[in-house]
Chains A and B, each alone.
Chain A
Amino acid sequence: MSQAIENAYAPPLAGKPPVALDRPRTRSKALRMLKPWLYLLPALVLLGIFMYRPLLYTFYLAFHKWSMVPGTEPLYVGFDNFSRLLANKSFADSIGNTVFYTALLLPFSIVIPLALAAVTHHMEGRMKNVYRALFFIPMILAPVSVSAIWRWLFHPSGGLVNTALMKLGLIETPIAYFSDPSFAKWIILLITGWKMIGFSTIMFSAALTGINSEYYEAASQDGAGSMRQFWNITVPLMSPMIIFMLTMSILFSSQWTFAYIDILTTGGPYGTSTNVYYEMYKFAFSNLNAGFSSAASLLFFVVFGVISLALNSLSRRFSFYDN
C-alpha cells in the first residue's frame, strides 16, 4: 500500500513505444502523440473543473470579501482576511482542538491496531479472520448512522452510559456529555477512534502477512522473547506501513472528525469541540463570509502541504525494506 504513495511521486516505468506498421509517418506520429491525451481527457477535464479551478478560485477569494450572494461581485481586500483570521479567537481555539484530535487519534490509528495485528498474526485457524472481519464493521458504517447510535448511548437522561455508570456508583447525577465542555471533544475523539481501529488493524495485518516467518524462528532459537521479537523484527519490517498510516492519520483526521462534530455538537459547547475544517465550513455557510473561509483554506493547504512533504521525506529515510 505504501507503494501507492511511492508510485505517486516516482515517474512510472516506461514501456517501449508501440511498433508502428508502415503507416504514413507524420500523420501517424501526430496521432500517436495525441492518443494518450485522448484517453486522459475525461479525467483531466473533470479534475480541472471540480478540483483545480475551485482551488485557484479559493486562493483568489482569500484576498476578497464576498457573501456568495448571486449577482454580487467579490471585493478586493488584500491581506485583510488573514490578519483578521489570526486575531480571531474562535479560530485560534479550533487550531488547538485540531492538534488535540490529530495527536490523540494516533493511539487509535497506530498503537492499538499494531498490537491487535501482532496478537492475531500468530493465531491459527479461522478465528483470526473472524476477529478481523468483526473489527472492520464500524469502518463501513456511515457517519450519520454512527452518530445517531452514539448520541443515544450518551443520552443525558436515559442513555445506557449514564445508567451504567450510575448503577456502578461511579457518578451521582447523569452527565450531559455533548453540552459539557470537558466531555464533548473526548466523545468525538472516541467515536472517530472507534471507527479507525478496525481499519488500521486490517492494514497492519496485511503488512504482517508479508513478513517472512523465518526471522521469528531464527530469533526464537537465539532466545529472543516475544516482546523483543516485536521490537526488533515486526516494527522495523512494518515501518513502511506504519509511516503510511501515520501520514493518513495526520492528514485526514481533521476530515474524519468533521461529520461527527457537525452532527453531534456543531462545534460546541463554546467552541470546545470544533476543528479548523469545521470553522471553515461555518465561516462560509453560517456567516456567509467566503473570503474568511478561503483564507483559512489557503493557510491550511500550506500547513498540511509542508507536513506531508516532511512525512514523505521521513518515509524515504526511515523505511526499512526487506530485500
Chain B
Amino acid sequence: MKRKPPAVSILQHGLLSLMCVIALFPLYWMLNSSFKNESDIFKSDFLPPNPILSNYSYAFEQMPIFRMMFNSFGVSILMTALQLFTGLLAAYALVRWRFRGQTLIFTLLSLTWLIPFQSIMIPNYVLVNDMGMNETLMGIVLPFAVSTFAILSLYQSFQSFPKVLIEAACIDGQSDFGILTRLILPNIKSSVASLGIILFINGWNEYLWPMLITKKMENAPLQIGLKLFVNSDSNMWGSLMAATTVSCLPILLIYLLLRRQIVDSFVRFGIK
C-alpha cells in the first residue's frame, strides 16, 4: 500500500469524527439535560449551569424503576437461556444425524424469517390471555422461547466442528448427550457466548409483545414503563431524560465491558 497524502487522511478522519458525533450526540444531550433544573432545561447550554440530581429522584418516585429493571433482566435472561437451550438441542440433532424430514425442518425454520410478529400477534395474544398469563414475565417470554435465528446460527457453529471427532467419540461408546455437552460445547463456547449476547440485546429491546401483555408498570419491563412515562405528557423533560439515562445504562455498561465480543458477535451472526 502507498502512503496516503496527509490531506486525504485528515479529510477521512474528519468525516468519520463527524459520523461519531452524529451517532453519540443524542446520548450526550440526554445526559446533559438530565442534570438541568427547570429554568435551564429549555436553554441550549452544553453543560448544565446549575447541575441538580432531583430529576433522578423524581423519576425514581414516579416509577418503580428497580422493579422494572428486574423485569427487564428477568425477561432478557429467560429468553436467552430458553432460546439457547432449545437451539442447542435442535442444532445438534440436525448436525449429528441424517434422517428423513431434515429438508422439511430446514424449510420450516427458514420460513419463519418471513413471519413478522405483527401477523401472529392476535392468536398469540388470545392464547396467552386464555392461559391467564397476562401481566406475567412468563407470558412475555414464552412466545420467544425458541428462535430460529438461534437454531440456524448454532447449526453453523456446529458445522465447523470436525465430524471425525464425533464419530471417534461415538465408537468409544460416548452417549449422544455426552458428545454434545462434553465434547462439542466446550469447543464452541465462544460462539455460543456471542450468540447469547445478541439474544440478550434482542430480548432487552423487545417492544411490541411486552407492550401488549403488560399494562401495569410494576409488571412491565423498563422499556414499557418508560413509554408510559413518555406519554404521560408531563413537561418534566429533565426527569424524563433522567429516566431514559437509567434505561440506557445497563446496556451501555454491558457494551463497555464486552465491546469486542459484542461487535464480533454481531458480525458473526448478523441480526434478526
The residues of A with any CB-CB pair to B shorter than 8 Å are: 1, 3-4, 7-9, 11-19, 21, 32-33, 35-40, 42-44, 46-47, 49-55, 57-58, 61, 68, 70, 116, 119-120, 122-123, 127, 131-153, 155, 157-158, 160, 163-164, 194, 197-199, 202-203, 205-206, 213, 216-217, 220, 244, 248, 251-252, 254-255, 258-259, 262-263, 277, 280-281, 284-285, 290, 293-294, 297-298, 300-301, 304-305, 308
User: What are 24 A-B contacts defined by CB distance under 8 Å?
Assistant: A3-B156, A7-B156, A12-B102, A15-B163, A18-B97, A32-B97, A36-B99, A46-B145, A50-B145, A51-B112, A54-B124, A54-B127, A57-B122, A123-B12, A142-B204, A143-B207, A145-B226, A158-B41, A194-B26, A202-B263, A254-B116, A258-B118, A284-B122, A297-B119
Q: Nearest Cβ distance between residue A298 and chain B, in whole angstroms?
A: 8
A149-B29, A263-B227 known; A137 vs B146 contact (CB < 8 Å): no
B109 within 8 A of A: yes
The reply to whether A160 and B1 form a contact with Cβ atoms under 8 Å apart is no
Interface residue from A43, A153, A205 paired with B86 (Cβ < 8 Å): A43
Interface status of B16 (Cβ within 8 A of chain A): yes
| B227 pairs with A144, CB closer than 8 A | yes
Shortest distance from the beta carbon of A318 to any chain B beta carbon, whole Å: 20
A266 smallest CB distance to B (angstroms) = 9
Q: Are B271 and A199 in contact (CB under 8 A)?
A: yes
Residues of B within 8 A of A132 (CB): 263
Q: How far is the CA of A251 from the CA of B269 in the complex (A)?
A: 17
Partner of A131, one of B16, B98, B112: B16
Q: Does any Cβ of A come within 8 Å of B117's Cβ?
A: yes
A136 to B260 Cα, complex, angstroms = 11
- Cα distance A3–B252 when bound, in Å? 30
In the complex, the chain A residue whose C-beta lies closest to that of B4 is: A122
Q: Which 9 pairs of residues, A with B, have the shortest CB-CB distance?
A: A158-B42, A297-B119, A54-B123, A39-B93, A54-B120, A43-B90, A206-B267, A8-B110, A46-B146
Q: Contact between B248 and A145 (Cβ–Cβ < 8 Å)? A: yes
Chain A residues, Cβ within 8 Å of B95: 12, 15
Q: Is the CB of B267 within 8 A of A202?
A: yes
A284 to B13, CA, bound (A): 49
Which residues on the A side are within 8 Å of B19 (C-beta)? Answer: 116, 131, 135, 197
Q: Which residues of B contact A39 (CB under 8 A)?
A: 89-90, 92-93, 96
The CA-CA distance from A61 to B122 in the complex, in Å, is 10
Q: Are A131 and B176 in contact (CB under 8 A)?
A: no
User: Is A290 in contact with B122, judged by CB distance below 8 angstroms?
Assistant: yes
Task: Output the nearest chain A residue to B72 by Cβ-Cβ distance.
Answer: A142
Q: Cα distance A123–B244 when bound, in Å?
A: 35
Which one of B48-56, B164-172, B185-193 is at the A interface? B164-172
Q: Given A19-B171, A131-B16, A199-B271, A136–B263 Cβ distance below 8 Å?
A: yes
Q: How far is the CA of A88 from the CA of B92 in the complex (A)?
A: 48
Q: Is the CB of B15 within 8 A of A1?
A: no
Are B44 and A164 closer than 8 Å at their CB atoms? yes
Assess A133 versus B2: contact at CB under 8 Å? Given A9-B110, A140-B201.
no
Find the A residue at minimum CB distance from B25: A153
On whether the beta carbons of B155 and A152 are closer than 8 Å, the reply is no
What's the Cα separation between A35 and B144 when bound, in Å?
A: 25
A50 adjacent to B118 (CB under 8 Å): no
In angstroms, Cα B237 to Cα A281, docked, is 29
B119 touches A43 (CB 8 A): no
Which A residues are CB-close (under 8 A) to B85? 42
Shortest distance between the CB of A38 and any CB in chain B (Å): 8
List chain A residues, Cβ under 8 A from B204. Answer: 142
* B137 part of interface (Cβ distance < 8 Å): no
**Which among B29, B41, B166, B247 is the interface contact of A145 at CB below 8 angstroms?**
B247
**Do the beta carbons of A57 and B123 come within 8 Å of each other?**
yes
Given contacts A11-B102, A148-B226, A148-B241, contact A4 B267 (CB under 8 A): no
> What's the Cα separation between A133 and B266 when bound, in Å?
12
Q: Which residues of A contact B201 (CB under 8 A)?
A: 140
Q: Are B126 and A14 in contact (CB under 8 A)?
A: no
Do the beta carbons of B152 and A149 come within 8 Å of each other?
A: no
Tell me the complex Cα distance, A16–B96, Å: 9
Do B270 and A144 have beta carbons less than 8 Å apart?
no
- Chain B, 61-101, CB within 8 A of any chain A CB: 85-87, 89-90, 92-99
B37 at the interface (CB under 8 A from A): no
Chain A: CB-nearest residue to B150:
A43
Cβ A119 vs Cβ B16 within 8 A: yes
- Is B47 among interface residues, defined by CB-CB distance under 8 A? no
Contact B120 A152 (CB under 8 A): no
Binary contact track B123-166/A, C-beta < 8 Å → 1, others 0: 11111011000000000001111101001110110010001001
**How far apart are the CA atoms of A185 and B126 in the complex, in Å?**
32
Task: Tell me the complex Cα distance, A33–B102, Å.
Answer: 12
B230 smallest CB distance to A (angstroms): 5
Shortest beta-carbon distance from A22 to chain B in Å = 12
Report chain B residues within 8 Å CB of A37: 93, 99
